[in-house]
Amino acid sequence: MRTGIEILFSEKRKHLEGRRIGLIVNPTSVNARLEFTVDLWAADPALRLVRLFGPEHGVRGDLQDMVAVEDQVDARTGLPVVSLYGEDETSLKPAPEHLEDLDVLVFDIQDIGTRYYTFVYTLAHCMEAAGEADIPLIVCDRPNPITGTRVEGNLLDPAFSSFVGRYPLPIRHGMTVGELARYFQAHCGVACDLVVIEMEGWRRTMWYDETGLPWVQPSPNMPTLETALLYPGMCLVEGTNVSEGRGTTRPFHLVGAPWVDPHALAHALNAEDLPGVRWRPAWFTPMFHKHAGTRCAGVETHVMDRDVFKPVLAGLALLKHLRRLHPDTFRWRTDPYEFVSDRLAIDLLGGGPGIRQGVELDIPLEDFEATWAPDLEPFLEHRSGCLLYAE
């Protein structure tokens, strides 16, 4: 199969040649031979690459989560780099002066298929800016690594819009970045001259390791495909005082805190008998982030059958049992999160208070799924008109 960037660079160069180009990239912006888009385009005399734009973690992907990225000059190419993840919310969208000398914006970043992942909102902000500047935005499509068929979780309440969820999407949306761009345009009021360069050879049922493409970690704590599969559920732990495994070699696989009883937690989770997953007691010491330098106890999540595993349900089970087993020490995170200080992080991640309230009430897991169903039906109908690939 071939990604959109390879097709744009070969057969569809008419979109680029003779135009002044702004390129929105990170380390995943490579072809099947692991050649970096920036290096290829900067070396091509027929292309006028004017400026780079970097999302969270930066163009070279070297900065941790929620660390502000500064504008800079790319050391290899000498190109100016505009950060789209700075000190405040105004930095998330290109300013008019960043686009006034451009003829086209190109987006080429690998997403991981989860509502919280910020790259797709960088895309939405750039679509808005391109529309205001009256220049086209080209999305070079890439696979949804955790398949394009599975949808799970609640829809976000617009009152809880943030950089970890701007629009009413479910947590696991089952769309590619190109399809999301079409959805943002059709159903979220994001207006621009949008061009999606479709992939060749991708089917919705494919997992990333079935594409033949090399895996490049999209962000510092997304080292493997299995991490991406766990992320829709385990990222919810970010909204608590429990470590989600950042600062270890197994982020989102390991979850715990100094006060967790690992055997009781693993036993309670396994007793839920959730599809395709088992938990084991585990101990770890994060080198940075929550509980840095402190020995933590908890569990490691093991996906036994990815085709039936429900990551959001697994994440909710973890929150429920952490709170039930440790009511005196488990807490919701209260410090500012992704530029927001007036709402809890768990409510931003959860797309509203429903997940938090359900955990606090210790409702059965099947009740969560039942509450999602009515909202998912119209979403799936709207989504169907934006899909580009068959199963």
Please list the residue range(s) of the chain that carry CATH number 3.90.1150.140.
225-352
The tens digit of pLDDT for each residue in 263-314 reads: 999 999 999 999 999 999 999 999 999 999 999 999 999 999 999 999 999 9
pLDDT band at 238 (very low <50, low <70, confident <90, very high): very high
What pLDDT score was predicted for residue 214?
Answer: 97
Model pTM above 0.85: yes
**pLDDT above 80 for 253:** yes
**pLDDT above 90 for 60:** no
Please list the residue range(s) of the chain that carry CATH number 3.40.50.12170.
4-213
- 4-213: CATH topology is Rossmann fold (3.40.50)
Nearest one of 355, 152, 321 to 242, comparing CA atoms: 321
Q: What is the DSSP letter of 195?
A: E
What pLDDT score was predicted for residue 63?
Answer: 74
Contact 239, 333 (CB under 8 A): yes
- CATH (one of 3.90.1150.140, 3.40.50.300, 3.30.1360.120, 3.30.9.10) for 225-352: 3.90.1150.140
**What's the Cα-to-Cα distance from 169 to each of 175, 318, 356, 379, rounded to whole Å?**
10, 22, 18, 8
Helix (H) or strand (E) holding 382: helix 365-384
